[in-house]
Amino acid sequence: MSLRSLVVAVFLTVFFFLATPVAQAKPTEESILSCGSQQYVISGWGTGAFHVSGSNQIFLVTYARLDSEPGQPVLFDIRGQQNKPDIVTCTTTSPVSRIDYTFKGFFTPRN
């Protein structure tokens, strides 16, 4: 590759990099996550990891149950997590579908 071709390739790469718009995360609806006597405002529906508003914490879901449906079907249950000492049980209602859920999971940073 000649020096001229290299310079053109670098220029085009930088040009396209700078010309590409930065993707902005679409804000998600918020809801109240109730974990015993504690309540948190969370967002991030559809990701399996809820951002706790006003903090750097994330609530990672290891178990999800649909409470609004007959028989309360379990959506998922990650094996090996249920007996960990930092797993908490929480409830919330989806801000979009208005479906009630029970989640088990942990807050980051994990001890």
Q: Evaluate if residue 56 carries a pLDDT over 50.
A: yes
Of residues 34, 14, 40, the one with CA closest to residue 90: 34
Range with lowest mean pLDDT among 11-20, 43-52, 60-69, 100-109: 11-20
Confidence band for 2, pLDDT divided at 50, 70 and 90: low
**Could you tell me if residue 80 is inside a domain?**
yes
13 domain-assigned? no
Average pLDDT value for residue range 61-85: 89
User: What is the model's pTM?
Assistant: 0.71
pLDDT for residue 6: 41
CB atoms within 10 A of CB 29: 12
Using 50, 70 and 90 to split pLDDT, how confident is the model at 27?
low
Residue 64 lies in a domain: yes
- State the residue range of the domain holding 87: 25-107
Does some domain include residue 53?
yes
The number of folded domains in the chain is: 1
